[in-house]
Amino acid sequence: MQDRRLAVLGAIVQDYVSTSEPVGSKSLLERHQLGVSAATIRNDMAALEEDGLIVAPHTSAGRIPTDAGYRLFVDRLLAIKPMSRAEQAAIAEFLSGAVDLDDVVDRTVRLLASLTRQVAVMQYPSLTRSDVRHIELVPVGEARLMLVLITTTGRVEQRTIEVAREAVADEDLVARLRAGINATASGRRLGEAAAALSVLPDSFAPSERDVVRRVIGALDEALIEEREERVVMAGTANLARRPGDFPATLEPVLDALEQHVVLLRLLSTAEGGQQHIAVRIGHENPVTGLQSTSMVTTGYGTGGDLVGGLGVLGPTRMDYPASMAAVRAVAAYVSALLTQ
């Protein structure tokens, strides 16, 4: 009996997501092979309503899922339906055309918004979770050096350093300094690299240490400087295409979406791994303005390390299996891109 009622709940969720109309026993029998009578379906619907899993939005025979009904439906999903090979190929082709990290992020949110018809959000890779990939040191002009820091997550930071002309002209010094910095910092977390580089000037001749300290000082700023985390969105207009899914107005939702600190908290990657999909439904959202929405998120990263989060946000009347599949697939491709 419990399994049958879960099947009825699943059918109600699927039909309501598809049609946006309250679902009645007659339509359930017509659209689904449940193998029972109309009276049995009505009894099951009454039991589901008593358990708070479905509700009548007005005085009609139709029912719609509650937040608790959606939650039980999501929790009982046996598996997330994989995307088709054509969809996977399209994702790979679209993301592989990115030219830099900014382009990767921009393409990711536009792709997710297109695939799910929801609002897509993505957190830029966190510097605190990034490693040093390479540091370049290039003479520019007669008395300047350009410092370029490249992280494993694709972030690029640049600094211009004023130094003595003699130092810029000394190609051997610049080459040794570049090699020493990379040997010390490459492969380390940014904070660890900054600490390790503090003793590098001691390995140079006294006459060379001033320029070394200037370069290390500029690199310290790039390595440990506190930065505001960034979130990028796409597809906000998708919310306006479904105004009936929001009880009163879109204003609280749009106000919440403008608060990037709120989105960063919701995109937190502290729990779970890259295969973990988090689903917050309706009143499970800690932000009042988003309690008429659902959010599907996951983490992405390099190797086993998570460096950021991405996901989609939309009304609770969401195609959860499809949204979960899209979020997981896109996160996997983004992670693969960052490790190249």
Residues of the chain with CATH 1.10.10.10: 2-75
For 154, residues 6+ apart whose C-beta sits below 8 A from its C-beta are: 100, 101, 104, 125, 338
**For 1-43, how does the pLDDT look when each residue is reduced to its tens digit (9 = 90+)?**
688 889 899 999 999 999 989 999 888 888 888 888 889 988 9
Closest CA to 223 of 304, 155, 278: 155
What is the Cα–Cα distance from 24 to 3, expressed in whole angstroms? 19
Which CATH number is associated with domain 2-75?
Answer: 1.10.10.10
> Residues 6 or more apart from 98 whose CB is under 8 A from it?
104, 107, 337
Q: According to CATH, where is 3.30.450.40 located in the chain?
A: 85-125+230-338
- Give percent helix, percent strand, percent coil of the chain, each to the nearest 5: 50, 20, 30
Structure confidence by residue, pLDDT tens digits, 206-264: 999 999 898 888 887 776 654 557 889 999 999 888 777 887 778 888 888 888 778 88
pTM: 0.76
Q: How far apart are CA 286 and CA 277, in angstroms?
A: 18
Question: What mean pLDDT value characterizes the chain?
Answer: 86
Q: Which residue reads 């937190």 in tokens?
A: 268
- In which residue ranges of the chain is CATH 3.30.390.60 found? 129-224
Q: How far apart are CA 122 and CA 263, in angstroms?
A: 9
Integer Cα distance of 340 and 336 in angstroms: 7
> pLDDT at position 270, please?
44
* Amino acid in the structure at residue 322: A
Q: Which of 271, 268, 269, 274 is nearest to 332 (CA)?
A: 274
Domain 85-125+230-338 class, CATH top level = alpha beta
pLDDT at 272 (0 to 100): 55
Over residues 140-145, the mean pLDDT reads 86
Mean pLDDT of 138-161: 84
Question: Does the pLDDT value for residue 296 go beyond 80?
Answer: yes
Q: Is the pLDDT assigned to residue 139 strictly greater than 80?
A: yes
Q: What does CATH list as the number for 129-224?
A: 3.30.390.60
Q: Which residue has the higher pLDDT, 327 or 156?
A: 327
The answer to whether the CB of 137 falls within 8 A of the CB of 184 is: no
- The pLDDT value given to residue 226: 47
User: Could you read off the pLDDT of 79-135 as tens digits, one per residue?
Assistant: 677 788 888 888 988 888 887 888 889 999 999 999 999 999 998 887 666 788 899
Residue-wise pLDDT for 36-62, tens only, equals: 888 998 899 999 999 999 999 876 668
pLDDT of 138 > 60? The answer is yes
